[in-house]
Amino acid sequence: MSAKIIDGKKVSLSVRERLKKETETFKKETGVTPGLAVVLVGNDPASAVYVRNKHRACEEIGFYSEVYELPEDTKEDEVLSLLARLNGDPKIHGILVQLPLPKQIDPDKVILSIKPEKDVDAFHPENVGRIMLGNYHFLPCTPAGVMTLLDAYGIDPAGKDCVVVGRSNIVGKPQALLLLEKNATVTVCHSRTADLASHTKRADIIVVAVGKPRFLKADMVKPGAVVIDVGINRLPDGKLCGDADFEPISEIASAITPVPGGVGPMTITMLMKNTLTAAKESVR
């Protein structure tokens, strides 16, 4: 093994320590406690774990938090009226509706009905537009976590060839914009890309977010490249694995994120950061 392991747990802990201190100071100065509301609809077991972890992180940092666990057959109108109430609740500075949603609920409608100032996922078109223009309050949690990890390990994307594999609205597209903002040369690859390996083999930094276990193989990676693995896949034996084939790639890459313990812990930490930012903006 030659690659440096990019330790998301460690970086996450140190960012959370800093956020905890900032939160204490903010509460003392303003008398305001940052508040996050998390809405979960349905019984997706992975989503339930994420929501529980988000709640726990809020308690650790000193936020107020509310969790709404609604049944699978909840009607769209009920979700929209809950969001209308949360939009108007002064105790709540951030609102997150866990995705995916059951099929009777249109995620676009849900995202549009969260006030942009409280949209700590940065999924609302106003916030997406702000990111496009480089004039934002919040960054989407997963790509922001990736950028924070690169920074913590002194990996500067400027002038580098960066390949993002995956073009989702949650990860791939915003990730490409954030790398571009840091002056990388960015290529976005996806399921219709011809000869994917010809792109990934040129990359200095690869961010893979496709949701397929061990999709990125060692022969698709240039020796010395940095590999950031956003995937969290559950194997039939119950173990977690990423989108990158970790063991063989770690023989040739210069640095790689493990799964679990890489990008995952950073995502919730960035959510906490966004919630504190939303609370600060609310008193400005």
Contact residues: ligand GUN, CB under 6 A? 96-99, 121, 141-142, 170
Set 7, 9, 27, 54: catalytic member: 54
54 classed as catalytic: yes
> Of 141 and 216, which CB lies nearer to ligand GUN in the complex structure?
141
> Of 3 and 97, which CB lies nearer to ligand GUN in the complex structure?
97
> Of 2 and 169, which CB lies nearer to ligand GUN in the complex structure?
169
Residue nearest to ligand GUN (CB): 99
4 classed as catalytic: no
Q: Taking the complex as a whole, how short is the minimal distance between the CB of residue 39 and ligand GUN, in angstroms? A: 9
- With CA atoms as reference, report the closest residue to 70 among 95, 41, 99: 41
Both tokens of residue 42?
Answer: 């349905």
> Of 36 and 241, which CB lies nearer to ligand GUN in the complex structure?
36
* Sign, Cα dihedral of 96, 284, 269, 226: positive
- Neighbouring CB atoms inside 10 A of 28's CB total 8
Rounded Cα gap, residues 44 and 95, in angstroms = 19
Set 98, 160, 229, 243: catalytic member: 98
Q: Taking the complex as a whole, how short is the minimal distance between the CB of residue 140 and ligand GUN, in angstroms? A: 7
Which residues contact residue 184 at a Cβ distance below 8 angstroms, ignoring those fewer than 6 apart?
157, 158, 159, 160, 161, 162, 205
Contact 153, 170 (CB under 8 A): no
Q: Taking the complex as a whole, how short is the minimal distance between the CB of residue 141 and ligand GUN, in angstroms? A: 5
Mapping DSSP onto H, E and C, the string for 53-116 reads HHHHHHHHHCCEEEEEEECCCCCHHHHHHHHHHHHCCCCCCEEEECCCCCCCCCHHHHHHCCCH
Active site residues: 54, 98, 121
